[in-house]
Structures are given as C-alpha cells and as structure tokens.
Structure 1
Amino acid sequence: MTVSRLRNIPGIGVDRMGDAADASKNPNILRLENLDTDLRPPPEAIRRTHEAVDDDTANSYLPFTGQAALRRAVVARMKQSAGTEYDPESECIVSAGGLAGILNVLLSILEPGDEVVLTDPTYAGLINRVRLAGGVPVFARLIPGADGWRLDLESLARAIGPRTRALLVMSPSMPSGFVATEAEWAAIAAHYVRPDAWLVYDAAMERILFDGRRVIHPASLAGMRERTITVGSVSKEFRMIGWRVGWIVGPAPIMADVRLTSLSNVVCQVGIGMPGATAALTCADDGVAAAVGQWQARRDFLLRALDDLPAIRPDGGWSMLIDTEQLGIPAPEASRMLLAKGEVAATPMTGWGPDAARYLRFVFANEPVSRLADIRARVRTAWHL
C-alpha cells in the first residue's frame, strides 16, 4: 500500500525519458529531456576538488552546517546579488544540493495542511517536495505570450488564503524560463510582507538571464529580508551538477529550525565537493557570463528554427516549452513520436502544474548548435508537420 504522502506524487517524467534514451544506445539522439549541460565547470573548482580527494579534513562529517570558507563565500555572493548582509555562522547552512535544501526548508516551516503557492508551470520536483513535507500546493498561473511568460497577478491574489504559509518561486523558473520583472516581484512582496508567511526563493539559475536582464533578488525589496529564505547551488550557474552542493540563507530565527531539520535529514554535505564549490564562488572568472552567452545562442537558434511552432520564449534558464496541444498532439504522444521518429528525447510536462500538461520541454543546455542544426526537420518528420 502506498503511504498517503506519495499518493499524489506522479514522479517527474525526466527519469523515464532519460532511461528510454539511454536504452536506445543511439548517439544520434538529441538529449533535450534532462537539465544537464556540456559546458565545463570553472577550472579552479575542478582543481580544488581534485586536491580535496587527498585532503583528510574534507573526508569528515564536520562541520555539520558546512565548511566555514564556503559559508563565507555564499554570504558574500548574497551581498552581491541582494545587497544584504548575512551572518555566515547563524544565517547560512550548506545543503547536499539545492533541492535537499528546499525540502529541509519546507519541513521547517510547514504544518500539515499548510498551503504553498507555486507558479504553473513549475518544476515537478518542487511540487512533490511540498507534498512530501505535508503541504498543499496551490498555483498562480504563468501566462505565455509574445513577450514570453508573465505572472498572472490576479491568479496570484486568488491563490493566497488563510492557510498560505509560503510562496515557492524560481526566477528564472524551470521549465518555462519565466523571469520576474520588478513589478511582478513588487506584487509578490506586497502579499508576503506579513508575519505568518515566507517567500522561499529558489535561486539555482539566478544569473542565467538573457537579453541583458539583471538580477533582482527578492531579499533586496523593502521589508523582505526577514521574510525571504534563499536556496542556491553550484549545479546550474557553475555547471557543477555532480558536486551536489547547495546552500540555504535566511534570517537567524528560522535558520535555527532549518539547522535542526538538516541535522535530522541529510546530516551533512559532500565533503570533497565543498572546496570546489568555494573555489567556484570566489575565483576570478567563474565562466557564468560566457556560459550564458552560449545558452542564449542555443535558445535563439531554437526559436528561429521552430518559429512556426507554438514555442514560448524563455528569458533565462536552460529550457523552453512548446504547446503541443495547439498542434493537436497531447504532449506525452508528441514526446513518444519525437523519440521514435525524430531521434529527439524531450519530456512532457505531466505533473508540472495544472495547466502544464499541454507542454513539451526542450532543454537547450546540453546540445551545441551544431547538433541542433536539423531540429526542425526532426520535428517535422516526427509530427508530420
């Protein structure tokens, strides 16, 4: 019998698509189903990780909240992005990846039945973690249009009620590439400057912004420093997926509870991963600007190649969505046909929000333009367009 907390968790779909692509052993398949990237981490991060393998102090549970050098580097980065000071001792905890940090935060702030507002669409793993923590996901719509995705502010207002405990939001958001504007952040802040609610900000892709957009960190807004919990990681911006190093930053009172949850859950982080993460955060050139340039070029190529299809422009992040329902093809069937006939692996957004099931996601972080060159012909073949 499935326990109740798992009954409404369908999975994320990416694992099934990845397994299907792997099973084919076909090197011609375009791998657009998973958030991997072919761009290398900062060289200094790789060098320090190699050194850490031989460093006995890295082969340790201690300190449980993460190595001090990394916590100092994280709060220094927070000062850059939010303009806000944090204490590395009482207001920063290192987690075993960003999503472990998200779950620990939710476990620390939710009572069973509390509601968490998320955008629709959003990453299924965030929705699932709300449910694992005993929360109830409620959705504010993202509206696709000629200028990309916009937050439906009326939908946001309707989503907030007496049981609302948190808003969990990414910017850039995954899978849509939605990037909140100043006006949208201000509307969010207007709802969450209150003593009984938190803004949980997933900053995993914060600097992966296209077309000259700048970082707007919600903790920088008036009254939001004490209501915002930021969760970040080295996985996306720094291209360090396998290191499994993330962090949680927030006001000291709630961080005391997050520390207790962290000690009771994963206990500690990847010891040999933290020196490399510290190097990534502190090196002279972390490669983020160059990587963003390449990811934007791939986005731009896909938008041109698929300009006759209902693809919605992402303003940041690693992926874009195509509304296959507009083509008369349910997203799971579009995914199946694309793999079988077009040699393209792409994940349908089933379980990624109430309205998300109509979309198919193309991840552009892992395939260079040279490999994407015939994407339109592959799609035409698969979908008979």
Structure 2
Amino acid sequence: MTPMSAPVGGDRPFLNRRLAAFGTTIFAEMSALAARTGSINLGQGFPDTDGPAQIAEAASRAVLTGQGNQYPPGPGIAELRTAIAAHQQRFYGLGYDPDSEVLVTAGATEAIAACLLALLEPGDEVIALEPYYDSYAACIAMAGATRVPVTLRPHGGAFALDLDELRAAVTPRTRLLLLNTPHNPTGTVLTPDELAAIAALAVERDLLVVTDEVYEHLVFEGSHTPLAGFPGMRERTVTISSAGKTYSFTGWKVGWITAPPELVSAVRSAKQFLTYVSSGPFQYAIAEALHLPDAYYDALRADLAAKRDILADGLAAAGFQVFRPRGTYFITTDITPLGEKDGLAFCRALPERCEVVAIPNQVFYDDKAAGATQVRWAFCKKTEVLEEAVERLRRL
C-alpha cells in the first residue's frame, strides 16, 4: 500500500479554523502527566470518591428494571424535570413549569454549548468573566460570535468584579452575558449587590444572560443567589446546573437548564442535534438525589470547607500566595513569592519536583499576562490525599 504523500483535502487543515486555537484541553494534558509520573492529581476537578450509595443504587435499580435503557424523552424524563423544578422552588423560591421551562442535558458542558449555539449569531458579542472555564471560549467560537472578556482581578485576598469595567464592555453588538458564580477557577461568589447591578445592566441594555451555577451548593461563606430571581431577569435568563458537582457523580453527565418557555425551546432546538438524549437510567437516580434532605448539603459543604482549609494552609506554608475561595472546590494561588513567573512552565515541572499536578490559570485568560503567575488546585479529594500533597509540596 503506497503511503499518501499529502493529506486528503490539499493544504487546508482538517480542523475547523474556529477551533484551531484551542487544541487539546489543559485538563487532558495535565491528567496524562499525572498518570505518567504517578503524581497526585489536584488538577482536574473530579472527586476521588463516589457520591451517596443510595443514589448509586437508584441508578443500578433503574438499569436492572429497564428504566431509561432506551431513549428517554427529548426534554428529559418527567420525574427529573419535576425534581429540578421542585429544587428551584425549595432552595430559591423560583417557580418553573417542569413541562415547558426545564430541559435536561448531557451535563452542564452540553447545556453551555446548546445555549450559545442556539442564542448567538455571527457578529454577536458575548461578555464572559475571565478567567473562564475553557469550554466557554470554544463554544462562543463555534457559534461564530465574539468573546469580550471582563477580568476578575485580585483584591483584598480574593478576585473581584469591576462593575464599571463590565458596563463599559457592553456595546450595541452585545447579545449575551455569560456568568459563572460560584466562579471556577477563582472561587469568587458574586454578592447580591453585584448581581443586582448586573441585573439592572441586563435589563437596561436588553441583554440575554446565561448563568453557569453548577457549584451552587458549594458556597462556604454566605449562600448562593440565582440571578434569575432579580427583577426583570427571569424572562431573559437561562440558568444552568448539573448533578456532577453536587452529588459527586461527574461521569454520569446529567445537567439541566431552567428558563422561560421561549428560551428553553430555542436551546432545545440546538441540543437535539448534539446528543439528542443521554444518561437515561442516571436521570432516574438524579431525580431521587434532588430530594435528599438538607443534612446532605450541609455535610457536603462542611466536608469540603475542611478540605479547603487543609490545602489552603498547606499551600501558604509552602510559600504560595493563597486566594482562599468562598465557593467551588478550587483554590487559586500565585507563584510569584516562590520566585516563579510562568504558571504553565511551573505546572509542567511540578510533577518532577513534587509529584503533584495542578492547572495553570493562564489557559483560562485572553489576557495571558493577567493569569501568568496563577495556578489552580482542586481539593475535592480524600483528606489523606490532600495531606500527602501538602507534605510533598514542602519540597518547594
């Protein structure tokens, strides 16, 4: 067989030019590095223990009794949509019709993609807070829209939003605000006053808002406030959440949106051509999970708060500047006190130095210089794993 002398298609690259800048995700690169070096992986944000046994048993029961083994309904099974609506009412006093205002997705990642593909046209501008979760940039690019970052900046031991900068970023081409609170990777939780100002801006400029609230139950000081609850926001807001972060079953990929019927219909039109449906038996299990008692959520927060403090204190003792998060299960640090300047180079060398893996924040920025010295660590791990990681980091 004669080898081809040139790629099929001539000189044109195979990859769509809108995605050419993204390459392999940093999570895949660093997780592979962790596996290759036998390092503790504090990079990718997945727990190293499963969620409640009763919820795993519910999934097993669904499989064995034939619930969801074939295609579930396109919007999601009725039991789960009803449970999602009940959750929004229980925790936030927000009423949604499970039949017309709830859509089940393949995790929050598909929800984000479906929202942006459905709601954006080429030439639209999308304001996103940076550092941003990497799929935001890729999905905006796939939609042919333009990303306009507004940077959260270190201030008083945390990362803060400049509301004047946000307002200045809005132009006649702005179609949508893409918000994430509690915020990955910084751990910032937008305050009710900040959210009220964002809501007023969205109403004034008639903007759509997509909010990624997957860490809604992982707030350690204060509580989470949904943007959809502010005046004028319910009719223009798509709220995204998922089961993975709250119940520690990230591999099940069960997410959802809540929004007015017109927005749900638009997002469903895109979603049906992505996965169509997914996670059939797991939908039944998450319907049960959403009815877990308050004690479950309280214990989850307390456990993660203790783990946050173990890792934050250990990172500080190792010489990092630590931004202790108010929410999520990530800690952002600055490596400047260690005499380092390049977070990407630091993270690539860290496994050889300490047998620990972290993520460089600069990959989450358009302004690479703003995040050049920042490194993110995940603390959703067993206590003994975090304690061992802290011990290894003393080598620095």
Question: Structure 1 length as normaliser, TM-score?
Answer: 0.93
After TM superposition, list the pairs within 5 Å mapping 1:160-309 onto structure 2. 160-194=170-204, 196-211=206-221, 213-284=222-293, 287-307=296-316, 308-309=319-320
Q: 2:348 aligns with which of 336, 344, 366?
A: 336
After TM superposition, list the pairs within 5 Å mapping 1:20-169 onto structure 2. 20-24=33-37, 26=38, 29-169=39-179
Deviation of residue 379 (structure 1)?
A: 3.1
Corresponding position: 1:4 with 2:17: yes
Is residue 31–residue 344 contact of structure 1 (8 Å, CA) maintained in 2?
Answer: yes
Please say which of residues 94-103 and 320-329 is displaced more in the overlay.
320-329
Deviation of residue 286 (structure 1)?
A: 7.1
The size of the alignment, in residue pairs, is 377
Match of 2:28 in 1: 15
Letter in 1 for 2:29: R
Match of 1:321 in 2: 332
Q: 2:386 aligns with which of 367, 372, 375?
A: 372
Is residue 179–residue 315 contact of structure 1 (8 Å, CA) maintained in 2?
Answer: yes
Deviation of residue 349 (structure 1)?
A: 2.0
Please say which of residues 189-198 and 61-70 is displaced more in the overlay.
189-198
Q: 1:347 aligns with which of 359, 379, 394?
A: 359
Please say which of residues 238-247 and 52-61 is displaced more in the overlay.
52-61
Question: Structure 2 length as normaliser, TM-score?
Answer: 0.90
Deviation of residue 6 (structure 1)?
A: 0.7
Q: Deviations over 1:102-148 (max 9, x none)?
A: 11011111001211111111211222222122221111121223342
Structure 2 unaligned blocks of 5 or more:
1-12
Letter in 1 for 2:377: F
Q: Deviations over 1:349-381 (max 9, x none)?
A: 23201223331111111241x333354553342
Please say which of residues 142-151 and 248-257 is displaced more in the overlay.
142-151
1:296 and 1:100 mapped to 2: Cα distance?
29
Letter in 2 for 1:187: A
SS for the counterpart of 1:33 is coil
Is residue 238–residue 280 contact of structure 1 (8 Å, CA) maintained in 2?
Answer: yes
Is residue 81–residue 216 contact of structure 1 (8 Å, CA) maintained in 2?
Answer: no
1:303 and 1:50 mapped to 2: Cα distance?
37
Is residue 81–residue 217 contact of structure 1 (8 Å, CA) maintained in 2?
Answer: no
Match of 2:10 in 1: none
SS for the counterpart of 1:56 is coil
Q: Deviations over 1:291-337 (max 9, x none)?
A: 22111112112222233421212111011111224533310121122
Structure 1 unaligned blocks of 5 or more:
none
Q: 1:195 to 1:329 in 2, by over 3 A?
A: closer
Q: 1:154 to 1:196 in 2, by over 3 A?
A: closer
1:190 and 1:61 mapped to 2: Cα distance?
41
Q: Deviations over 1:268-304 (max 9, x none)?
A: 1211111111111013367332122111112112222
Q: 1:351 to 1:306 in 2, by over 3 A?
A: closer
- Compare CA radii of gyration and give the structure with the larger one: 2
RMSD of aligned Cα (Å): 1.8
Match of 1:312 in 2: 323
Is residue 116–residue 136 contact of structure 1 (8 Å, CA) maintained in 2?
Answer: yes
1:325 and 1:139 mapped to 2: Cα distance?
24
Is residue 102–residue 257 contact of structure 2 (8 Å, CA) maintained in 1?
Answer: yes
- Percent identity between matched residues is 31
1:206 and 1:125 mapped to 2: Cα distance?
19
